[in-house]
Amino acid sequence: MSDENMTLAEKLRAQKAAKEAAGEVEKPMTLAEKLRAKKEAAKSEGKPMSLAERLKAQHGDDDDDDDATDGDELGEEEATELESAVSEAESKFKELISKVKLSSLASNIAQLGNDTTELPSAIEAVRDRGYAYRSYLEYKVDVLEEQWKDMDEDLKAWVENESAELEDELEQVENLVERLTGAGVTSRAQRLLGRTQSALEVLEEKIEAAEEHIENQYEAIQREVANTKRQLTEINWIMDMKEEASFDFGAAEEVFLVAKAEWDDGKDKPDGLIFLTSQRLVFEQKEKTGKRFGMFGGKETQDILWETPIDSVDDVEASNKGLLGGKDMVTLKLGEGAPYAEIVVEVKGGVASKFWAKQIKRMATGNADDERAIEPDPEMIERLKNAPTDCQVCGGGLPKIVEGQSQVECMYCGAVVRI
């Protein structure tokens, strides 16, 4: 396979294999190999203290003969308190039985693997819908797939190893719980209760430490996968808004961003959506209007209120106004071909005005083309360049050409102009 046909993940694997074959890099140990080495080192240095040994160090061995005596009966108040504490200890033990298998952790790891595997098809789906930008998504997924390939087996080995060690200690706790519940409501049960509670606390701490340690190993990739899924959700919403729009998009016109917005027109301040495309900025009113007392009746209104070519944008300013700066305002300074000299819009939905101002500038200067994952059709571009803008019969301005259109009709004289 030639280099240009290889994915980024395949190139990374090929580079790594070539370096290892040439002896340039030492192949790192897998996590499973590290775990085996850790166990061997522990054996050579002496077995670490078991849970029982740690408890004996904490509580001493004064109750080693507890099973040889029934202990003294307790008074009513002490007995009630003891029964409640023993019940709590039993409940905690049952809770820890399920936790020592680290099944929740294993489930999270499996879900992360599924999410990583499904990302390529999710990206392909938004490309099929026509979203042409954010080409970094394909590169990011290649890297995530490579990282997950190296990590998956190691994580499973780590979970299996930690779970086995925790189950060994669970057996020791189980022995204490059985002795405690079999001691009845006696002074012996009181002495066993302290050891049992300590054992439960130690085991729970070990479970939490094991989970945290393993989670730290895949935290970075989990964060990037979640971020990528969020970006894809946003793109799908953008394409939903495009498909629901009340207006047509021009041939080779591609939507880059959409946000909920309010146009500050100095009077009604209509709500709707602002579209940033490869060719223009469009504000579409999309709200219920004509409500009585601001609450009752009204009708759904959806229509363009203004549009301006992207090359008419001379400058963009971002600011935060309102109480505690909660309103993200974008001010457009417009030139030739624009309907207004200045337009002020509040972008909503948690979108930062600085982000939008930056993206409008990028699109206006052509820098957003660096993000293209789908290049425009050269033949279509050439047709648009050569397409007439004025009617050849009456000289009136022709409507904007939309995608797939091969002819337009002059609204002034009815002449049909073929493209």
Span 103-162, pLDDT tens digits: 999 999 999 999 999 999 999 999 999 999 999 999 999 999 999 998 998 998 999 999
What is the share, in percent, of the chain residues with pLDDT greater than 90? 53
Q: How far apart are CA 28 and CA 148, in angstroms?
A: 16
Reported confidence tier of residue 389, pLDDT bands at 50, 70, 90: confident
Which one is predicted more confidently, 181 or 50? 181
Is 5 buried (19+), middle (13-18) or exposed (0-12) by CB count in 10 A? Answer: exposed
Please give the backbone phi and psi of residue 150, each rounded to the nearest 5 degrees, phi first. Answer: -75, -25
Structure tokens at 199: 């054992």
Listed residue (176, 171, 227, 168) closest to 198, CA to CA: 176
380 has pLDDT over 80? no
pLDDT (mean) for 304-312: 93
Reported confidence tier of residue 5, pLDDT bands at 50, 70, 90: low
Residue 209 near residue 100 (C-beta atoms within 8 A): no
Listed residue (374, 376, 373, 375) closest to 137, CA to CA: 373
- Ordered domains of the chain (ranges, CATH): 29-242 (no CATH), 255-371 (2.30.29.30), 378-418 (no CATH)
Distances (CA, A) of 199 to 34, 166, 172, 174, 185: 29, 12, 9, 10, 20
Helix, strand or coil, per DSSP, at residue 281: strand
Q: How far apart are CA 244 and CA 280, in angstroms?
A: 18
Looking at residue 264, its pLDDT comes to: 95
Helix, strand or coil, per DSSP, at residue 118: helix
What is the share, in percent, of the chain residues with pLDDT greater than 70? 74
113-129 pLDDT, tens digit each: 999 999 999 999 999 99
- CA 279 to chain centroid, in Å, comes to 30
Residue 347 neighbours by CB distance under 10 Å: 22
Q: How many residues are present in the chain?
A: 419
Residue with tokens 């004289």: 413
Q: Using the 8-state DSSP alphabet, how is residue 310 labeled?
A: G
pLDDT (mean) for 348-372: 92
254-299 pLDDT, tens digit each: 999 999 999 999 899 999 999 999 999 999 999 988 776 556 667 8
401 has pLDDT over 70? no
29 has pLDDT over 80? no
Structure tokens at 350: 């948690």
Which one is predicted more confidently, 358 or 419? 358
Q: Using the 8-state DSSP alphabet, how is residue 264 labeled?
A: -
Looking at residue 221, its pLDDT comes to: 94
**In 183-308, alpha helices (H):** 187-244
Could you please report the per-residue DSSP string of 343-372? EEEEE-SS--HHHHHHHHHHHHHTGGGGG-
How confident is the prediction for the chain on average, in pLDDT?
Answer: 83
Helix, strand or coil, per DSSP, at residue 212: helix
Residue 278 neighbours by CB distance under 10 Å: 20
- CA 85 to chain centroid, in Å, comes to 43
Least confident of 15-29, 67-81, 314-328, 358-372: 15-29
Which one is predicted more confidently, 63 or 195? 195
> Considering just the CA atoms, what is the radius of gyration of the chain in Å?
34
Looking at residue 68, its pLDDT comes to: 45
